[in-house]
């Protein structure tokens, strides 16, 4: 919006404010005139009778407040003071001392406001109407401002974010430190003939802190920061996006040195020629203008273009070539040390209890990004406030981790004894297989309390961050996922729908082992199938088969072989540890939740964690009641890959 309409609006608001003041004063004057008026002799009688609490003297006017709360006005003569005239009318000194007397000298302009209020009000109405009419007449000129940039500018005088507020991405901060040095000391680079990168592309998964890091660069350099989303360039009108790009870069040049941040640049920076509307749609015209403006920058403009995306694979190659986005900064998921540093940032200023160990919390949150950790800390603070605590304890942090992973608890959910027993044996099967097999992650918690859409869950957390996963690890994870189904088969001699999500994840992982990772002994180190993707949509729409029907049959056989082998491993493991299976399941039915220490004690046969509940005759579905008509769980889709997700019941 241009400055002229904004200034006119300010004048209109100012005139309306004056008009309201005049109206208020006029109303006050009229109200004052409606107060009961009495002669001075009656006032003297009221004072002597003790009916007056206060007298306010304003020139020749006397405003009295009576005991009953009413107000009276009277006027004295100009020849002497009000006190002298009241004494002359017989008011005693004792009566005067009991009355609060206040002399008020009204301002000189009060009479002017009272006299000229009506005239000024009429003038204000005429002037305001005239300006409003001019603004409405200039509405057609708003089309010019429609093509102006909508970027929000933040001055660097008082930075709200610095590098101290960003943790877990030390390499990225080191790369961007050069950008800060260029903005603060450009001569240092120019004297050596160095060409400063014109653009910096931040690439990372959602929540890794791309926008936060861009603001930190602006805060460290102390320069203006222009922020705009890629989707804000494109409108339904032709040419608006390109116009906004031109206006944005003009503003940046006027405020140099500065930073221009284009968030979610993949909204306008996708491959040209792949649009649904052909090669001349509005999005591509906007991208063309961005390419021209970036390539036309001089080295002495001191303007850095930063952009963020989580889909660098769909960006146009012309946008990534040297001379435009020269430098690419990768923001990966934080490791154990990085998560601990992120925790330190987000707990800063919060009342944390002494029992909170940030290192343990970092180990308990593998795969979490900065946004996940921030959400987890906020959930812990909300839980502490709900429980009327003054500090945030480790219990709230543990509960918030489970809320983020599996959802909130649903203790009010009513289930039958049959479903509770099935769920207990299902989760016990998961936990025992994970405990026994060497490549599975240690069991962190087992519960049959409903969370989210799951009737129960088993959480296993790795002891260290893992980047590479072996074939043996995959096989043990497959057996872990099938442990619940195997427990149902062995204990109840029947199966339920509770393992539906387990089977989906197992089948997906086994097929990936064969077709993507080359982990099939029969088919060898080869990949099968090519992903089909629409660049404009940014989404995979299917897989192109580059193999024959014979190979497809072999792939299916290998997938079936891997899944059946994992299922047999789970069954064999549970048969060898049937006593522990009954013990853990019965304990779950009794107390519903087992932490790592309690579970390990039960596996070791420690009697202090509860009596041995191993039944002489294992129960069957016919023993516990009629057949279940509803699935035990309907857990949302998760992956066996890191981060580990709770095994659904």
The two tokens of residue 359 are 């290192």
**Residue 263 near residue 226 (C-beta atoms within 8 A):** no
Q: How many CA atoms lie within 13 A of 1 on its CB side?
A: 10
Interstrand relation of 52-58 and 61-66 (parallel, antiparallel or unpaired) = antiparallel
Selected catalytic residue, list 340, 374, 399, 427 = 427
Q: Are the CB atoms for 216 and 166 separated by under 8 Å? A: yes
| Cα distances (Å, whole numbers) of residue 216 to 121, 164, 230, 328, 528 | 51, 8, 20, 17, 44
CB atoms within 10 A of CB 561: 15
Which run of H or of E encompasses 58?
strand 52-58
- Please check whether residue 149 is in contact with residue 251, taking contact to mean a CB–CB distance below 8 angstroms: yes
Q: Which of 221, 234, 392, 187 is nearest to 306 (CA)?
A: 221
Q: Which residues contact 598 (CB under 8 A, 6 or more apart)?
A: 587, 609
Contact by Cβ (8 Å): 275, 536 = yes
Which residues lie across from 258 on neighbouring strands? 303
Q: Is 323 left (phi over 0), alpha (psi -120 to 50) or beta?
A: left
Per the annotation, the verdict on 464 as an active-site residue is no
Contact call for residues 632 and 454 (beta carbons, < 8 A): no
Which residue, among 60, 52, 53, has the nearest Cα to 105 in the 3D structure? 60
CA atoms within 13 A on the CB side of 59: 6
Q: Where are the beta strands (DSSP E) in 265-379?
A: 303-309, 327-331
The SS3 of residue 120 is helix
Instruction: Give the number of other CB atoms < 10 A from CB of residue 208.
Output: 25
Q: Is it true that the peptide bond before 216 is cis, omega within 30 degrees of 0?
A: no
What 3 state SS string does 277-290 have?
CCCCCHHHHHHHHH
The CA dihedral of 94, 95, 98, 102, to the nearest 10 degrees, is -110
Distance CA(592)–CA(131), nearest Å, equals 73
- For 467-496, give the secondary structure using H, E and C: CCCCHHHHHHHHHHHCHHHHHHHHHHCCCC
Catalytic residue list? 427
């Amino acid at each position: 919006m241009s400055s002229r309409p904004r200034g006119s609006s300010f004048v209109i608001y100012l005139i309306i404010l004056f008009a309201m003041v005049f109206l208020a004063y006029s109303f006050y004057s009229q109200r004052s005139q409606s107060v009961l008026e009495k002669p001075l002799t009656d006032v003297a009688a009221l004072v002597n009778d003790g009916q007056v609490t206060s007298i306010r003297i304003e020139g020749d006017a006397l405003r009295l407040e009576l005991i009953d709360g009413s107000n009276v006005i009277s006027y004295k003569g100009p020849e002497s003071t009000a006190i002298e005239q009241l004494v002359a009318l017989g008011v005693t000194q004792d009566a005067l001392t009991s009355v609060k007397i206040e002399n008020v000298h009204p301002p000189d302009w009060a009479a002017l406001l009272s006299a000229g209020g009506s005239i000024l009000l009429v003038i204000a109405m005429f002037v305001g109407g005239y300006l409003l009419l001019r603004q409405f007449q200039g509405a057609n000129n708003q089309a010019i401002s429609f093509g102006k940039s909508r970027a929000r500018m933040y001055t660097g005088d008082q930075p709200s974010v610095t590098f101290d507020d960003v943790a877990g991405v030390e390499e990225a901060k080191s790369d961007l430190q050069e950008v800060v040095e260029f903005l603060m000391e450009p001569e240092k680079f120019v004297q050596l003939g160095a060409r400063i990168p014109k653009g910096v592309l931040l690439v990372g998964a959602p929540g890794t802190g791309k926008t936060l890091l861009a603001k930190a660069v602006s805060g460290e350099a102390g320069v203006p920061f222009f922020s705009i989303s890629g989707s804000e360039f494109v409108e339904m009108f032709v040419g608006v996006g390109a116009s906004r790009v031109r206006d944005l870069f003009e503003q940046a040049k006027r405020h140099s040195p500065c930073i221009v941040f284009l968030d979610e640049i993949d909204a306008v920076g996708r491959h040209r020629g792949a649009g649904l509307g052909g090669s001349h749609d509005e999005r591509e015209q906007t991208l063309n203008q961005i390419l021209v403006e970036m390539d036309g920058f001089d080295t002495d403009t001191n303007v850095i273009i930063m952009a963020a995306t989580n889909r660098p694979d769909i960006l146009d190659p012309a946008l990534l070539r040297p001379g435009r986005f020269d430098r690419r900064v990768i923001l990966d998921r934080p490791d154990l040390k990085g998560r601990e540093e992120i925790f330190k940032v987000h707990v800063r200023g919060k009342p944390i209890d002494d029992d909170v160990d940030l290192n343990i919390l970092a180990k308990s949150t593998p795969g979490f990004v900065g946004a996940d950790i921030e959400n987890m800390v906020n959930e812990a603070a909300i839980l502490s406030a709900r429980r009327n605590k003054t500090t945030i304890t480790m219990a709230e942090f543990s509960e918030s981790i489970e809320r983020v992973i599996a959802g909130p608890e649903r203790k009010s959910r009513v289930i039958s004894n049959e479903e509770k027993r099935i769920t207990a044996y299902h989760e016990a099967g998961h936990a025992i297989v994970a405990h026994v097999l060497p490549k599975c992650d240690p069991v962190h918690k087992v519960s049959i309390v409903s969370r989210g859409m799951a009737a129960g869950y088993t959480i296993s957390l790795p002891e260290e961050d893992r980047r590479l996963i072996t074939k043996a690890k995959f096989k043990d994870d497959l057996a872990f996922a099938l442990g619940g189904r195997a427990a149902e088969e062995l204990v109840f001699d029947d199966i339920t729908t509770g393992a539906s999500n387990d089977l989906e994840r197992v089948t997906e992982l086994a097929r990936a082992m064969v077709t993507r990772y080359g982990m099939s002994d029969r088919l060898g180190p080869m990949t099968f199938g090519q992903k089909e993707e629409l660049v404009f949509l940014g989404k995979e729409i299917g897989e192109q088969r580059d193999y024959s029907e014979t190979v497809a049959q072999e792939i299916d056989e290998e997938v079936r072989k891997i899944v059946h082998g994992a299922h047999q491993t789970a069954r064999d493991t549970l048969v060898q540890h049937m006593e522990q299976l009954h013990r853990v399941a019965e304990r779950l039915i009794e107390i519903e939740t087992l932490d790592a220490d309690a579970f390990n004690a039960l596996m070791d046969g420690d009697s202090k964690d509860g009596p041995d509940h191993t039944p002489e005759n294992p129960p069957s579905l016919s023993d516990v009641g009629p057949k279940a008509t509803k699935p035990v769980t309907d857990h949302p889709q998760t992956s066996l890959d890191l981060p580990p997700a709770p095994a659904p019941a």
